[in-house]
């Protein structure tokens, strides 16, 4: 079994993930492996983040290959921890996975601590309070998926918009850096802290998606060079997709590259029929995986969001709104 290590290449992430973690079969263990090993979404040293971007300490990843293999063989302890509830939010699912790992590393002081000022006033929530090198550390944890709006030549984080157009990468990071990471300084937070927080940072994982069949974009200033990336295209442009098979990824399967029985995959005609029916009543983009089939197993080689044909126009309007409000 190959040694597991963090991944460096953005161009072949799925290949590297399958090569190094292909022995993992349990979907929740695979999702956890992705959280721990995928490149950070943001560049830790980019000046606009002001040193507030965390990265997983190398010492926590020592011996991880054996740990993941053993967990995959007996995943019941993870399933019990997750309670396998139908999580409404991918972010909560990811937080629970990360909490399982951090608790096992004996660094987790508290997780999901709500700070209130009175019965009906919630100030915020600590995602993770950790003991690292005998210091109390606050981590805000985010797992995000953003698409590069393509009508202009934008070079800042607000040109990456959420699939549902509700926010932008810039707006999300502003909220984290200028609000959520200041929570430990609020008077109402002090009862939850055994000592002052030494450092407050954001650990951000995720995927960024670029327009299909357009020239390869250089990484946005502030993003990690090796961040996980995919494509996006309109429903009409799906005729240009080329793969052996396809699968539509449910939201809680957005984290790790897909691995599934080959009989569960669909051909392009079936994919297009499903999408045509879906977009009659819904405008939320759909995340798909392009698959390679080997025997009775299909594995993801690329992934992308399929968006309604008018999404490009609406995304441009969302970017204009984001810039007009700053």
Q: How many CB atoms sit inside 10 A of residue 1's CB?
A: 11
Using CA atoms, how far residue 137 sits from 29, 41, 128, 293, 322, in Å, is 26, 20, 8, 44, 32
Number of neighbours of residue 34 by Cβ within 10 angstroms: 23
Residue-level pLDDT at 27: 96
Q: What is the pLDDT of residue 150?
A: 74
Point out the least confidently predicted range of 69-78, 138-147, 176-185, 213-222.
213-222
Of the chain, the percentage scoring pLDDT greater than 90 comes to: 79
- More reliable by pLDDT, 242 or 316: 242
Q: Give residue 8's pLDDT band: very low, low, confident or very high (50, 70, 90).
A: very low
Q: pLDDT tier at 153 (50, 70, 90 boundaries)?
A: low
Q: What is the mean pLDDT of residues 39-56?
A: 94
Decide which of 213 and 122 is more confident.
122
Q: Is the pTM of this model over 0.85?
A: yes
Distance from C-alpha of 124 to C-alpha of 186, rounded to nearest angstrom: 10
> Residues 112-139: what's their mean pLDDT?
94
C-alpha 106: how far from its chain's center? Answer: 24
Cα angle value 252/255/261 (rounded, 5°)? 75
**Statement: residue 9 has pLDDT above 60:** no
Domain ranges within the chain, ordered by starting residue: 25-324
- What's the pLDDT score for residue 2? 37
Q: Find residue 304's DSSP bridge partners.
A: 231, 288
Q: For residue 151, how many other CB atoms are within 10 A of its CB?
A: 14
The more confidently predicted of residues 87 and 213 is 213
pLDDT > 50? residue 4: no
Q: Is the pLDDT of residue 321 over 90?
A: no
- Give the pLDDT band (50/70/90) at residue 127: very high
Is it the case that residue 7 has pLDDT exceeding 60?
no
How much is the average pLDDT of 283-291?
97
Average pLDDT, the chain: 91
- Provide the pLDDT for residue 1: 37
Q: pLDDT by residue (tens digit) across 171-220?
A: 999 999 999 999 999 999 999 999 999 999 999 999 999 998 765 666 67
- Distance linking the first and last C-alpha atoms of the chain: 50
CA distance 253 to 255: 6
Token pair for 243: 């793969």
pLDDT at 219: 65
Residues in the chain: 326
Mean pLDDT, to the nearest integer, of 146-153? 78
Residues 133-149 have a mean pLDDT of 96
134: left (phi over 0), alpha (psi -120 to 50) or beta: left
């Amino acid at each position: 079994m190959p040694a597991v290590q963090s991944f460096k290449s953005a161009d072949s992430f799925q290949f590297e993930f399958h090569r190094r973690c292909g022995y993992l079969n349990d979907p929740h263990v695979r999702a956890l492996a992705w959280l721990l090993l995928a490149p950070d979404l943001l560049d830790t040293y980019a000046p606009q983040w002001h040193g507030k971007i965390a990265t997983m300490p190398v010492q926590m990843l020592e011996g991880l290959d054996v740990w993941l293999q053993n967990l995959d063989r007996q995943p019941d302890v993870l399933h019990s921890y997750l309670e396998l509830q139908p999580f409404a939010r991918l972010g909560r699912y990811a937080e629970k996975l990360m909490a399982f790992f951090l608790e096992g590393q004996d660094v987790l002081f508290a997780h999901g601590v709500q700070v209130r000022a009175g019965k009906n006033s919630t100030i915020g929530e600590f995602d993770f309070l950790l003991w690292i090198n005998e210091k109390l550390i606050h981590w805000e944890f985010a797992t995000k998926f953003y698409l590069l709006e393509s009508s202009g030549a934008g070079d800042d984080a607000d040109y990456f918009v959420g699939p549902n157009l509700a926010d932008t990468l810039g707006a999300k990071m502003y909220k984290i850096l200028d609000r959520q990471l200041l929570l430990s300084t609020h008077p109402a937070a002090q009862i939850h802290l055994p000592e002052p927080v030494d450092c407050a940072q954001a650990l951000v994982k995720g995927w960024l998606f670029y327009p299909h069949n357009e020239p390869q974009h250089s990484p946005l200033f502030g993003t990690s060079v090796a961040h996980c990336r995919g494509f996006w295209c309109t429903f009409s442009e799906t005729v240009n997709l080329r793969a052996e098979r396809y699968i539509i990824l449910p939201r809680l399967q957005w984290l790790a590259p897909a691995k599934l029985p080959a009989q569960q995959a669909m051909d392009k005609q079936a994919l297009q029929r499903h999408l045509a029916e879906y977009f009659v009543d819904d405008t939320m983009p759909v995340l798909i995986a392009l698959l390679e089939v080997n025997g009775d197993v299909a594995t993801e080689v690329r992934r992308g969001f399929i968006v309604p044909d008018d999404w490009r126009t609406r995304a441009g309007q969302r970017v204009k709104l984001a810039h007009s409000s700053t």
